[in-house]
């Protein structure tokens, strides 16, 4: 079940376990926050699933029919598949090792109820690229762009289907522009701040396919109290 440098961890807030490799790839707080923010329903697709943390968190939290985790990197997809098997969820969570741009050939149009995604944050050429391929693909728009993700999501989602994304605040204009270009109407935004006194470093966005314009803002998610301890909501998110 385990390969070199891999370990098994419990997934916060669930009864499930996940295989991670600290030297190659492991989930971050952004995936935990997204899976807390999102409301999985019906047929769910997680784009860029990594090691499968979001499907496992959603399945443990929400009532869904089936979740498909899409991952282009073979090694990472294999880790996710082994984590799914470890939890005896192979009938409920399917990992597909493929390019998300090919999903229209895998699924019919308007067939998915919910899409989640924790995409690469950096534009190609916008920062120094990590020499390790899995880190670069996870962090930079190399294998796919923001528009690729939103365009595929619009194709897959049923009318009034839900789209959930975690991203960086500096890409907010790009995100809203692309969402509207593809008929995904932004409905809710929640900023994530390290502390009350600090500026946001993440954003959580919910959009609705063919929804009516009506954008609302949740109170920000504050990670740390000013003295450095976790806030009560963070303890709730992590099931502590």
pLDDT digits (tens, 9 = 90+) for 10-20: 999 899 999 99
pLDDT digits (tens, 9 = 90+) for 19-28: 998 777 788 9
Alpha helices (H) in 16-167, listed in sequence order: 29-37, 53-61, 74-86, 103-106, 133-139, 146-156
For the cut 80, the answer to whether the pLDDT of residue 152 exceeds it is yes
| Nearest Cα to Cα of residue 63 among 31, 39, 99 | 39
Q: Mean pLDDT of all residues in the chain?
A: 91
Give domain 6-237's CATH architecture.
3-Layer(aba) Sandwich (3.40)
pLDDT for 134 beyond 70: no
* Distance of alpha carbon 77 from alpha carbon 95, whole angstroms: 7
Q: How far apart are CA 52 and CA 56, in angstroms?
A: 6
Closest CA to 17 of 104, 97, 74, 79: 79
pLDDT tens digits, residue range 41-68? 999 999 999 999 999 999 978 789 999 9
CB 52 within 8 A of CB 77: no
Q: Indicate the domain borders of the chain.
A: 6-237
At CA 34, angle to CA 214 and CA 164, rounded to 5? 40
φ, ψ (nearest 5 deg) of residue 12: -55, 135
**Residues contacting residue 208 through CB under 8 Å, at least 6 positions apart:** 160, 161, 162, 163, 184, 185, 187
Which residue bears the tokens 């390790």? Answer: 132
């Amino acid at each position: 079940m385990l390969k070199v440098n891999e370990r098994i961890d419990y997934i916060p807030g669930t009864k499930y376990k996940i295989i991670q490799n600290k030297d190659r790839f492991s989930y971050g707080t952004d995936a935990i926050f997204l899976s807390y923010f999102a409301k999985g329903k019906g047929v769910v697709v997680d784009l860029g699933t990594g090691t499968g943390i979001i499907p496992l968190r959603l399945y443990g939290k929400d009532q869904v029919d089936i979740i498909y985790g899409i991952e282009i990197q073979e090694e990472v997809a294999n880790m996710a598949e082994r984590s799914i098997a470890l939890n005896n969820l192979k009938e409920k969570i399917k990992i597909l090792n493929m390019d998300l741009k090919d999903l229209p050939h895998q699924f019919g149009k308007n067939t998915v109820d919910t899409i989640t995604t924790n995409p690469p944050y950096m534009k190609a050429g916008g920062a120094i690229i990590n020499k390790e391929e899995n880190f670069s693909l996870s962090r930079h728009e190399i294998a796919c762009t923001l528009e690729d993700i939103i365009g595929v999501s619009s194709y897959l989602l049923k009318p009034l289907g839900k789209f959930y994304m975690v991203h960086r605040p500096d890409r907010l204009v790009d995100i809203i522009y692309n969402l509207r270009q593809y008929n995904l109407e932004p409905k809710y935004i929640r900023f994530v701040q390290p502390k009350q006194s600090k500026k946001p470093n993440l954003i959580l966005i919910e959009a609705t396919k063919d929804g009516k314009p009506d954008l609302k803002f949740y109170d920000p998610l504050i990670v740390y109290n000013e003295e450095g301890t976790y806030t009560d909501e963070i303890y709730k998110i992590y099931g502590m």
